[in-house]
Structure 1
Amino acid sequence: MNYNFIHSKKLVLKPFESNWASEMVLNPAIIKDKKSSRIHMLFRATGPWEKKRAEGKPVPYPIFLGYGWSDDNGESWQFDTNRPAISPKVEMDIDKILIRNYKGEMVVNYSNGCIEDPRLFYFEDQCYVITACRMFPPGPYWIKDEPTQCAPEWISTRNNPYGKAASENVTVNVLFKVDLDCLASGNYDKAFTYVTNLTDACFGEDRDVLIFPERLMIDGQPKIVMLQRPFNPSAYPGINEELPPSIVICAADKFEDFSNPGLTRYVLAVPKFQWEKDRIGGSTPPVKIGEDEWLLNYHGKQDAEIGYTQSFMILKEQKSGMPAVTHRCPERLAIADQDWEMPNKFKTPCIFMTGLIELGEELLASYGAADEKIGVLKINKAGLINYIKKFKA
């Protein structure tokens, strides 16, 4: 079906010659600068990193974030193709996997090997980015998807102090502060400050972490509210039902509290329609559309043949407890339908939005196509919301 409120799809970046973005570019986050007309973009990229190859191991492919920008509301884009904006350190020594956080403390560096799938957002006037990180880089994972194939041998010994973050190279979601002025000027070393890990590897794979851009009243208290997509939701205390990967919600007083194993988590939404049978997860940070209503872009995966596609739901804040889903579109609103969006290295089709911002009456979305390229599209905000509100959850 052709949805007339979705328009202006276009390719804006494909892999380019380099040692950090020659294989793929994808999953871009975007944010509007509050002090100028610039839209900033951080995108995921990878290429062969021969200088960190260990004897007997495949060539590692660390995941980097590159920088791009638009000064005309997303009509045209420019990119810094000379260097990444932020790079993993790729340390292999057990005692060097550390990083200085925003308090000046040396903490475990969960972003040592991969910094993936950025989501940019403002919270209390500060710009942040959430990233899905791994302690070690993979090899050519589109050929062999083995997360530990480039990891050091000590990960499987009793000397490993990092648990599953090392032994299984499990994804840990990390929050960074972002200085947009430094980013725009190319002063990348000062653009990112490590804040904390938002998830704990002991619960297994967990991705698609999103934070509401303001505190919500939860049982009468102002809280930071986070969405996440654990591969196994029942690994968390309090979620007793065996579920496929689903959207989970939780609240805390400060960012550091989200990785607390004792934090109470609730299931917000589970796979419901055929096209999301395998999993669902949040895609882009929630957009406020009313005094107590939020638009949430989310993705579903049916199987390896249908792949990842995008839709939307509406959440409403409650007088007690967490926000609840009030409306949910049963249809796939964004699918791969352009030649440049079709699978290549990866055989599973994939349209994966990681950025969504308001531009007047329009929404600008940024997305990864086929896990190899970057596109943008526009959505008429009122048209989309009116359509979603046709479908009660």
Structure 2
Amino acid sequence: MKQPKIKYSLEPVIEPQPGCDWADTMVLNPALVIAENDDAIHMLFRATGPWQQKNLKGKSDPYPIFLGYAKSEDGGESFQADFSRPALAPMLAYEMEEMYIENDKGEKVLNYANGCIEDPRIFRVEEDWYLSVACRLFPPGPYWEGDKRRDNLPDWAMDEANPLGKLANRNDTVTVLYRLNLTELTRENYDQAFTYVGPVTDGNVSDNRDVFLFPKKFKIDGREQYLMLHRPDDPSEFSAGQGVTKPSIMMAAAEQIEDFVTDKATHHLFATGIFDWEEERIGASFPPIDLGDGEWLISYHGKQLPDVGYTQSFIIVRELEDTFPEIIHRVSERLIYAKQKWELPDKFPCPCIFTTGGVVKDGVLIMSYGAADQKIGIAKVNFAELIHYIRCFDRNGEIGTM
């Protein structure tokens, strides 16, 4: 049993841009997509820099988080980033009456992406493309120096009895969905590329991120339903996660996308950390890839402090009749992890490779990752060889027979 060879960028494909206010300090955690009839690979990446003009309390400058756009025409070997402006920016309002946006139905709704737009994932659901992002109501301070989420909270949010609840008071993340117009994105017409849909997680239940949907409906509990992966910080807030104290991967099923944030959704505990490199948490990494015959590839990450940090591996699941999919193969080894000097810790104390994008092109799985939470790299592996290797492990990570 030979582990597949994974090729990494020898140097970053995108780095922070000194002097670019919104990408001065960090670029990381990119999503990838290949549009129809388009050979290029398109990327949305997370970026931040100090925003002194929005320093509300004088404690620390806020670091709002933006999305930038980049494009590769050589199969992911290099990317050309547009640093002229963000592709998608938070509103950065501090008064609640100013924190509203029009959604895809023409309704005026609260903009949960007001302070930060983090960790993009791009995926298709039936005929539409979507973008999911982890968002905060207010921009944090320099978060690599510790918990700075509340340094720039307005007075009304500091009150635990505020109208938006603990989501505003703790400035936790809630995952927001946008409808994505790929044609406008690839033309760099950013103002026409994104349509706000709304939250798909409830920040007053749990901080929740690493969220995206499967591309089709599944029959669950006798009904055709959308299926979503999510990673609550506190799974025990859901009945399916009772007794689970560490962030873990859950699934949710709902008949309508807007139902995921309500009690109409049904939740299922999908996977918890079982290996030493998953000691702190696990979460899904990039959207599922259809393997055919009712099987799906799910990439995921684990975290262990202080030595291992964030590393990546893979799961294969199989569809079941009238219930949630089940794990049939799970690799016990961390297959993707920081090795090169530029991938190793700098601002943050632990090693970190964090994949948030994956596309298959010409038989190669091309994965985009944030390294050391500061730069962007690309990893490539022969897709068939990777799947063959994953199938050598059973659902518990034990080496079995195929």
Query: Which bracket does the TM-score occupy, shorter chain normalised?
Result: over 0.9
- Structure 2 distance, partners of 1:47, 1:7, is 30
- Structure 2 distance, partners of 1:40, 1:385, is 24
The residue number in structure 2 matching 1:41 is 43
Determine whether 1:383 maps to 2:349: no
Contact 2:62 2:141 survives alignment (8 Å): yes
Matching residue's letter, 1:289 = L
- Structure 1 distance, partners of 2:347, 2:327, is 36
Determine whether 1:277 maps to 2:296: no
Shift of 1:262: 5.0
Question: What is the DSSP-based 3-state SS (H/G/I as helix, E as strand, rest coil) of the residue aligned with 1:358?
Answer: strand
- Structure 1 distance, partners of 2:79, 2:384, is 26
Determine whether 1:181 maps to 2:183: yes
Contact 2:91 2:114 survives alignment (8 Å): yes
Question: What is the DSSP-based 3-state SS (H/G/I as helix, E as strand, rest coil) of the residue aligned with 2:324?
Answer: coil
Question: What is the DSSP-based 3-state SS (H/G/I as helix, E as strand, rest coil) of the residue aligned with 1:12?
Answer: coil
Shift of 1:232: 0.8
Matching residue's letter, 1:256 = E
The residue number in structure 2 matching 1:82 is 84
Moved more, 84-93 or 235-244: 235-244
Contact 1:66 1:86 survives alignment (8 Å): yes
RMSD of Structure 2 on Structure 1 (CA): 1.6
The residue number in structure 2 matching 1:338 is 340
1:163 to 165, 173, 180: 165
Shift of 1:39: 1.3
The residue number in structure 1 matching 2:228 is 226
Shift of 1:9: 3.1
Question: What is the DSSP-based 3-state SS (H/G/I as helix, E as strand, rest coil) of the residue aligned with 1:312?
Answer: strand
Shift of 1:239: 2.8
Report the number of matched residues. 393
Closer, same or farther: CA 325–95 of 1 in aligned 2, 3 Å: same
The residue number in structure 1 matching 2:65 is 63
- Structure 2 distance, partners of 1:315, 1:103, is 34
1:105 to 84, 107, 111: 107
Matching residue's letter, 1:7 = K
The residue number in structure 1 matching 2:7 is 7
Q: What's the TM-score, normalizing by structure 2?
A: 0.94
Contact 2:57 2:151 survives alignment (8 Å): no
Question: What is the DSSP-based 3-state SS (H/G/I as helix, E as strand, rest coil) of the residue aligned with 2:266?
Answer: coil
Shift of 1:351: 0.6
- Structure 2 distance, partners of 1:321, 1:178, is 29
Contact 1:40 1:70 survives alignment (8 Å): yes
- Structure 2 distance, partners of 1:238, 1:365, is 31
- Structure 2 distance, partners of 1:55, 1:279, is 33
Shift of 1:2: 8.8
- Structure 2 distance, partners of 1:206, 1:86, is 21
Contact 1:237 1:262 survives alignment (8 Å): no
Shift of 1:157: 2.5
2:304 to 297, 302, 305: 302
The residue number in structure 1 matching 2:256 is 254
Shift of 1:242: 2.9
Shift of 1:72: 2.5
Moved more, 4-13 or 259-268: 4-13
Matching residue's letter, 2:380 = K
Contact 1:298 1:310 survives alignment (8 Å): yes
- Structure 1 distance, partners of 2:160, 2:76, is 51
Shift of 1:281: 0.5
Q: Which runs of 5+ in 2 are unaligned?
A: 396-402
2:201 to 199, 202, 211: 199
Question: What is the DSSP-based 3-state SS (H/G/I as helix, E as strand, rest coil) of the residue aligned with 2:323?
Answer: coil
The residue number in structure 1 matching 2:123 is 121
Contact 1:219 1:319 survives alignment (8 Å): no
Contact 1:232 1:243 survives alignment (8 Å): yes
Question: What is the DSSP-based 3-state SS (H/G/I as helix, E as strand, rest coil) of the residue aligned with 1:183?
Answer: helix
Matching residue's letter, 1:101 = N
Moved more, 14-23 or 259-268: 259-268
Shift of 1:55: 4.4
Shift of 1:158: 6.5
Question: What is the DSSP-based 3-state SS (H/G/I as helix, E as strand, rest coil) of the residue aligned with 1:203?
Answer: coil
Post-superposition CA distance 1:232-264 (Å, at most 9, x none): 101113432233111101111111000013522
Contact 1:164 1:204 survives alignment (8 Å): no
- Structure 2 distance, partners of 1:56, 1:48, is 13
Output aligned runs, 1:204-223, within 5 Å: 204-223=206-225
- Structure 2 distance, partners of 1:388, 1:55, is 51
- Structure 1 distance, partners of 2:265, 2:224, is 16
Identical aligned residues as a percent: 47
Q: Which runs of 5+ in 1 are unaligned?
A: none
Q: What's the TM-score, normalizing by structure 1?
A: 0.97
Moved more, 135-144 or 50-59: 50-59
- Structure 2 distance, partners of 1:215, 1:162, is 32
Contact 2:160 2:166 survives alignment (8 Å): no
The residue number in structure 1 matching 2:399 is none
The residue number in structure 2 matching 1:53 is 55
Matching residue's letter, 2:207 = E
